[in-house]
A = this chain, B = another copy of it.
Amino acid sequence: MTDTSRSPLAPPAFPDLPAVGGVELRVARARYKDWNRCDLTFATLAEGTTVAGVLTQSKCPSPEVEWCRKALTLGQARALIVNAGNSNAFTGQRGRAAVEAIAARTAGQLGCQPSNVFVASTGVIGVPLPIDKAEAGLDAAFTAQLCDWRAAAETIGTTDTYPKGATTSAIVDGRRVTLVGIIKGSGMIAPDMATMLGFVFTDAAVEAGFLQAALAAANAPSFSCITVDGDTSTSDTVLAFATGAAGNAPLVDDDSPGADAFRAALADLCHQLAMLVVRDGEGATKLIEIAVTGAESDRSAHRVAMSIANSPLVKTAIAGGDANWGRVVMAVGKAGEPAERDRLAIRFGETQVARGGLAVEEYDEAPVAAHLAGHEVEIGVDLGLGDGRATVWACDLTHGYISINADYRS
């Protein structure tokens, strides 16, 4: 973490996270930037570990994203390397060479195929990742002491103001399986795809195809439903690794015993992780939950919710504690989705503020102002058209966001 001012929305402490059988963590200093911290994370994974992933849909992805996309087709993982301080995106052949060098060196260390090594990087765009620093960092990591989840979560962070991790468990095939995730991200966070760098580890035995299906399903209502600034990274990556150390009969499809429990646990973990990211939105002082109902479809509801969540005028109003519901009307109106002004209803928290195309007669702003004074704000919009619904999460837009981003790279 380079930023010392912790988000006011941060959880009180990093949680106690259990070990996950088959996963070993180490961190080291590659010195990608001139800073006094670890910035390379090395996770080794037991033989037989399966992997799934969801990756940015950017048309300008990093070579790491391309590498992972290709490696995911094989579904097997032995290691994860995460570089912080340099995203290596938009760096041409030199960037691709750096990823290949990292995979080759790690594969040599572990005696596996390079395609079993997954690589993710985060930081400034446009500067090739220096291979010499990466290799020196790897060598240090190979011989480092084992570390805990907190150290790994800290090491993958950049502008994050706190390390982010979560856990859950499920009973599968009569055995308790553990899931742990770590994640980083607080700016360039946007909807409609896997977002940020997030890593989920489980000791469950899960075939790669089913793990991919479960991860994609868990991604849709979690990472794809948060936004900090509507800006989509070139490097967004969420990977899930299943080591099989729990010894359950492998999950192969929805009919496998415990498949539902595993899916539910993975979805819960992804939701926890997504909330940790939006709570660390750059400059955020308020977490905003936007629930849209009554849309013509769930997809339409999602788009309306994201139009609200990404509106600078809505986000600044919430920052100012201003119950300016007219800006919510504006954001609904501009979303390009089916909407009828005179059926629209809006609430802040539990208080209905508008209904049937105008302010409610008995509207009392006092409870709304009290709701907006808190750290967690709920906006509810009912379009009155159908059964479509969606919930998304965002944060407010403050002077802090400007301060962080008007002078980040320099």
Contact = CB atoms under 8 A, between A and B. Distances in A.
A354 interface: yes
- Tallying the copies of this chain within the complex gives 2
A64 B407 CA distance: 43
A237 to B, nearest CB: 14
A148 interface: no
Nearest to A319: B406
B126 A405 contact: no
A339 B60 contact: yes
Contacts of A311: 230-231
A5 interface: no
Interface string A302-329: 0000000011110011011010111101
Contacts of A336: 59
A331 to B, nearest CB: 7
Given A231-B334, A232-B333, A324-B409, A91 B402 contact: no
B405 A316 contact: yes
Contact of A330 (B188, B335, B403): B188
A31 to B, nearest CB: 20
A341 interface: yes
A397 interface: yes
Contacts of A233: 330
Contact of A401 (B58, B90, B316, B410): B316
Nearest to A193: B334
A152 to B, nearest CB: 26
Contact of A406 (B316, B332, B338, B354): B316
Given A313-B229, A344-B60, A95 B358 contact: yes
Contacts of A91: 358-359
A254 interface: no
A247 interface: no
Nearest to A60: B333
B402 A397 contact: yes
A301 to B, nearest CB: 14
A190 interface: yes
A14 B407 CA distance: 35
Contacts of A397: 312, 402
A125 B341 contact: no
B313 A188 contact: yes
Given A92-B356, A92-B357, A317-B408, 9 more contacts: A58-B330, A58-B334, A90-B329, A91-B358, A92-B342, A127-B359, A313-B405, A398-B402, A402-B402
22 contacts: A58-B333, A59-B332, A59-B338, A59-B339, A59-B340, A60-B329, A89-B326, A89-B329, A125-B327, A126-B326, A231-B313, A312-B312, A312-B397, A313-B405, A316-B405, A316-B406, A317-B409, A319-B402, A320-B407, A322-B407, A324-B408, A401-B402
